[in-house]
Structure 1
Amino acid sequence: MINWLFLDKNICYICKSNEAVAHFLCKDCLKKLDYVANQFKIDNYQAHAVYFYNETMKKLIADYKFNRNTSLSKVFSSILYDYGRVHKLFDVDYILPSPSSRQTINDRGFDHIRMICDYFIDDINPSYLDNFTKERNTKAQHTLSKDERSYNLKGAFKFDGDLSGKSVLIIDDLITTGNTVKEMAKVLEKSNVKEVTALAITSEHRLN
């Protein structure tokens, strides 16, 4: 059940008591987030992250993905949409929400990144890049060592198509080592993609 339907749109979606002022959050809850607007490189790819992965953001991501607090999808969507619009990241041909495996979607009950993007996809020019899939279920990246994270994702993604002259914006919730972006970009490059950029809600990168 999508519980945000039952929340007052003027009440903070985190504390559920104070008046919301931005991204469906109140001033007090917004202060607990660490806004960094970071830009950094993952190999040769430009990446962006809106917030630093502090304890508050860690709890929010976990609450959304593992406790199925789907009301937070609207919060995350507003964050990504505002940042992407201001930084002109939607001037691309395709949006690619980082896909989950079929097993993960079945277990969780929803496609967590796609749900976030669904709120704003009709308000931007690019469309979804269809048929890009995660064929193999993998372990959660944050539970693994640096070496294990790289091996964990090898061969997990699949796409059949021609992206000659096209640009793609990958959207994810969290960037840590960047291995997910790297593996997805490798698959896109095999289809002759012109440019790949990444945008995440949060990351462990603090410096530009």
Structure 2
Amino acid sequence: MYCITCSKLSLYIICKNCQNTLLKPVFNKREIEDGFYNYSFYPYSEIEDLISSKYHFHGDKIYNILARLSFLEFTKKFKIDEQILAIPIDDHSRHNFSHTAILAKHLKSSIITPKYNTLKAKNIVKYAGKDLEFRQKNPRKFQLTNIHNQTTILCDDLITTGATIKEAKKVLEKKNNKVLFSLTLDDAKL
């Protein structure tokens, strides 16, 4: 197999050299609502082609690499004195795998437990390339099951306007859940 970034022969879809040099995460913080933050690891422009792999059969391999380099490393440094649920935003498997479930899986630790199939969008609308006005007029209409009175974090692959994350946060809070922050692989505003 050849590395998709440098085209050199590799045992991995992204070779170890490219993982260590091109995909070194940088922790970024953005306030998306008063006192509520999203943390991301890459500027969207740097991994745009890798993010779009979620629409292809090999995307799960790429998402596992990105999640291992960023989300897993985050869990090694994150400390809190309570148990937390990691909630993937709309962890559907429309493309043979769920990219948000892969991200949540890499957050698993002694204090973070991924909780799958709990926050699902009833409105399957594509936001790619759409502005904030379109996103606000076409909410995802999330449905939450089996989570109440918990401390949570949200995870998704990309933050653009923050509309999806804010909508998901509100749905969780209606069931008396505390949402500490959200984590995304990348930020379109970086």
Q: TM-score range by the shorter chain?
A: 0.7 to 0.9
Give the whole-Å Cα distance in 2 for the aligned partners of 1:13 and 1:169: 31
Whether the 8 Å contact between 1:163 and 1:192 is mirrored in structure 2 is: yes
2:85 is matched by which residue type in structure 1? Y
1:103-118, aligned counterparts within 5 Å? 105-106=93-94, 108-118=95-105
CA distance in 1 between counterparts of 2:132 and 2:81 reads 31
Partner of 2:157: 173
1:82 aligns with 2:68: no
Q: CA deviation at 1:177?
A: 0.6
| Structure 1 residue 158 corresponds to structure 2 residue 158 | no
Q: Does 1:93 align with 2:80?
A: no
Q: Which letter maps to 2:40?
A: A
**Equivalent position amino acid for 1:49 in 2:** S
Q: Quick check: 2:41–2:184 contact (8 Å CA) kept in 1?
A: yes
Residues 42 and 127 (structure 1), Cα distance of their counterparts in 2 relative to 1, 3 Å cut = same
Once the 2 structures are TM-superposed, how far is the Cα of residue 39 of structure 1 from its aligned partner?
1.2
Measured at CA, do residues 158 and 196 of structure 1 come closer, stay the same or move farther in structure 2, by a change above 3 Å?
A: farther
Moved more, 127-136 or 183-192: 127-136
Tell me the TM-score normalised to structure 2 length: 0.79
Provide the C-alpha distance between the structure 2 equivalents of 1:81 and 1:129, rounded to a whole number of angstroms. 16
What's the TM-score once normalised by structure 1's chain length?
A: 0.73
Corresponding letter in the other structure for 2:160 = T
- Offset of residue 68 of structure 1: 2.4
Query: Secondary structure of the residue that 1:50 maps to in structure 2?
Result: strand
Separation in 1 of the partners of 2:184 and 2:80? Answer: 12
RMSD: 3.0
1:40-93: CA deviation from partner (whole Å, max 9, x where unpaired): 211132210011111x40000112x11222211221221211023324489642
**Size of the alignment, in residue pairs?**
184
Q: Structure 1 residues 113, 195: CA separation in 2 closer, same or farther (over 3 Å shift)?
A: closer
Q: State the alpha-carbon separation in 1 of the partners of residues 102 and 19 from structure 2.
A: 22
- The C-alpha deviation readout for 1:17-46, integer Å capped at 9, x for no partner, is 3779xxx75344554457431112111322
Name structure 2 gaps, 5 residues minimum. none
Q: What is aligned with 1:127?
A: 113
The answer to whether the Cα contact below 8 Å between 1:25 and 1:75 also exists between their aligned partners in 2 is no
Which amino acid in 2 is paired with 1:153?
A: P
Structure 1 stretches of 5 or more lacking a match?
A: 1-6
